[in-house]
Amino acid sequence: MFSKEESRLLRQEFWISFGKSFPQKWILYNTKLKGLSFKFHFDTKKALVALDLEDDLEHRINYWEKLVALKSILLDNYLPNAIYEEAYILDNNKEISRIYVPLELKASIHNKNSWQQVMVFFNDTMTLFEAFFLEYKEVIEG
């Protein structure tokens, strides 16, 4: 068991290591589409890469409909393991829409032995997610 401070330091060390191992400028929040962002998530239970829709309901519905229309392209050509969840509840009980790809193997940010595998997963998955987004951005923003 780790103290909050030990856990914070481990998380910080992971993200610094990831940035040094894969020094890339990710799109993340800089999509230029209101409420649409990409996220890396890694905690003690799971790792995933996500495209989140967090804006007002009208924007969420608009973007979601377009992303659903592109679902077969995303799954066939980019990320076959992507999961679409129109109503995804975050830990803070906020409802968003999310498309995400989970790391299939068990990983914990507290276990340094899993870090390299997670970093490679993050890099490979986000690269494909961003390629899809850049190719179909005009369709999504409609």
Quick: pLDDT tens for 76-130: 999 999 999 999 999 899 999 999 999 988 899 999 999 999 999 999 999 999 9
What does the pLDDT read at residue 2? Answer: 79
Residues 103, 58 contacting (CB under 8 angstroms): no
pLDDT tens digits, one per residue of 43-70: 999 999 999 999 888 889 999 999 999 9
Average confidence score pLDDT of the chain: 95
Q: Does the pLDDT at position 1 exceed 80?
A: no
What does the pLDDT read at residue 33? Answer: 92
What does the pLDDT read at residue 105? Answer: 86
What pTM was estimated for this model as a whole?
0.93
What does the pLDDT read at residue 98? Answer: 98
Q: How confident is the model over 25-39, as a mean pLDDT?
A: 95
Distance CA 47, CA 74 (A): 20
Residues 129, 73 contacting (CB under 8 angstroms): no
Give the long-range contacts of residues 14-19, CB within 8 A, separation 24 or more: 14/42, 14/109, 14/115, 14/118, 17/115, 17/119, 18/115, 18/119, 18/122
Q: Does the pLDDT at position 29 exceed 90?
A: yes
Which strand (E) or helix (H) includes residue 122?
Answer: helix 115-141
